[in-house]
Amino acid sequence: MFLTISTTGTPERPATDLGFLLHKHPGKAQEFSTSHGTAHVFYPEATAERCTAALLLEVDPVALVRRGHGKGRGGAPDAALAQYVNDRPYAASSLLAVALSGVFRSALAGRCTARPDLPEQPRPLRVEIPALPARGGAELVHRLFGPLGWASVRTEPVALDERFPEWGDSRYVRLVLEGELKLDDALRQLYVLLPVLDDAKHYWIAPDEVDKLLRAGDGWLAAHPEHALIAARYLARHKRLTQNAIERLELARLAEADGSEAEELDNAVDESPDAEERSVPLAVRRREAVLAALRTAGAARVLDLGCGQGQLVQALLKDVSFTEIVGVDVSMRALATAARRLRLERMGERQSSRVTLLQGSLAYTDKRLAGYDAAVLSEVIEHLDLPRLPALEYAVFGAARPRTVLVTTPNVEYNVRWESLPAGHVRHRDHRFEWTREEFRAWAGQVAAKYGYTVAYVPVGDDDPEVGPPTQMAVFTTATDTPKEGEAA
């Protein structure tokens, strides 16, 4: 199991600084005993211009079995283990990632006692992995490394056997990454993504594995479009741990983007000086449109999904026809603000029995959300990565299944009308997408058809003859009580 890391340099910034960064002297070959065998670190080249460090792990089958890795979860011998013993000895599997973290612990943490300034500096790096086991193939390798700041991600198929090209390709690819990165960022990516690509079933999941993932993913994983796949595979598809990891990643991302600005920005752009009369802020008009649609639907028990700081919950409480109001958000910080806004603590018993705030991610089915009259998703869907949207659709339309669902989202066509919004920009940093009217209708129509709802569209804000309204709302109503057969999976 084998990988190399190279860098180039100049007399002032010699490439051999790599030795300091890795805490391994370029002049000697070293051996380390790890839980899975012996790791070797050596430098095939070490000049001021070019320096390459190689990490090679000699897997020791006896050590593997002694450590209990030879047994599956139920204690039965694990057939997947055989792969590591019979595998090409240089395949860079999840075991190599474990060796990497052991041998280069300080480098992974970005520590360098001898030269504390070094880890801070990005440098030209080239990582080569001659045989990377990749379940999902080269395409997935590109999806995973593509968004991580490398100038080039190259993959080549590895033939099953060079002597017999007609046998086709093996499950390995040769991977070369090149770019200007900090070494610790590169190592932490590899530490996470090697086991993710290997997708080995035998991988032992310790209780602190989520913490390890989040530590190694610091600064790159939360914003990665494939963070859900990465978490699921890294955690060997352990459901509860994966859910926990994804929630914490979503929170980290929202904290970075500061999830509270959506309304502020809408207000700011709404009050642009060219507005004829002081217009009602868009957020207020949106709330009024939602309240009107809920009243028309005759809803009494209402979910506010992605309730944020609780403005809608507060408005619902003022109308006694809403007998039960549940605000759900993934962000504890938003919920804490909502609780303060509502003065939950000082609320009388009668009032407080009407309202509940729940923490949870909308990308998971949640039994607590079943059986309500209506659900509101106000300015929420655009905060989810597109690949995660079907999970939300299932959780809301398939599992919770309220009679009415209201979804609002920005109409991107209207963005040209915001004076203060530079062309081509979304309205909020955390928006993963903003749709045209046509795109929104295509999405809503397909969701309605899949889950047995009918859908109508309501403009929110001034309906511009050319570009439409600033906010678009879809009103879904159940056509049947249960989803169409076979659609609910």
What gap in Å lies between CA 381 and CA 362, rounded to an integer?
10
259 part of the interface to ligand SAH, by CB under 6 A: yes
* Nearest to 183, CA basis, from 309, 31, 37, 24: 24
Q: Is the CB of 17 or the CB of 379 nearer to ligand SAH?
A: 379
Q: Is the CB of 133 or the CB of 402 nearer to ligand SAH?
A: 402
Q: Which of 128, 184, 250, 270 contacts ligand SAH by CB under 6 A?
A: 250
- Give Rg (Cα) of the chain: 27
Contacts of 320 (CB under 8 A, 6+ apart): none
Residue with tokens 């897997």: 59
CB of 70 to ligand SAH, least distance (A): 39
263 part of the interface to ligand SAH, by CB under 6 A: yes
Q: Is the CB of 20 or the CB of 372 nearer to ligand SAH?
A: 372
308 part of the interface to ligand SAH, by CB under 6 A: yes
* Contact predicate 135/198, CB 8 Å: yes
**Count of positions on this chain that bind ligand SAH (CB under 6 A):** 20
CB of 245 to ligand SAH, least distance (A): 13
331 part of the interface to ligand SAH, by CB under 6 A: yes
What gap in Å lies between CA 210 and CA 250, rounded to an integer?
14
SS (H, E, C) 189-217: HHHHHHHHHHCCCCCCCCCCHHHHHHHHC
Q: ∠ CA(133), CA(137), CA(143), 5° rounding?
A: 110
What gap in Å lies between CA 61 and CA 201, rounded to an integer?
17
Q: Is the CB of 127 or the CB of 290 nearer to ligand SAH?
A: 290
CB of 142 to ligand SAH, least distance (A): 26
Q: Is the CB of 48 or the CB of 344 nearer to ligand SAH?
A: 344
306 part of the interface to ligand SAH, by CB under 6 A: yes
Q: Which of 254, 342, 444, 473 contacts ligand SAH by CB under 6 A?
A: 254
Q: Is the CB of 130 or the CB of 308 nearer to ligand SAH?
A: 308
Binding to ligand SAH, residues 367-386 (CB under 6 A): 378-380, 383-384
Q: Which of 78, 128, 198, 329 contacts ligand SAH by CB under 6 A?
A: 329
For residue 276, give both structure tokens.
Answer: 């004829």
Strand order in the sheet with 471-478: 355-359, 324-329, 301-305, 374-378, 404-410, 471-478, 453-460
Strand order in the sheet with 50-59: 30-34, 37-46, 50-59, 2-8, 123-133, 169-181, 152-159
> Which stretch in 17-25, 147-155, 300-308, 447-455 sits in contact with ligand SAH by CB under 6 A?
300-308
262 part of the interface to ligand SAH, by CB under 6 A: yes
Q: Is the CB of 127 or the CB of 384 nearer to ligand SAH?
A: 384
Binding to ligand SAH, residues 339-368 (CB under 6 A): 361-363
CB of 219 to ligand SAH, least distance (A): 20
* Nearest to 303, CA basis, from 345, 385, 260, 360: 360
For binding to ligand SAH (CB under 6 A), which residues are involved? 250, 254, 259, 262-263, 306-308, 329-331, 334, 361-363, 378-380, 383-384
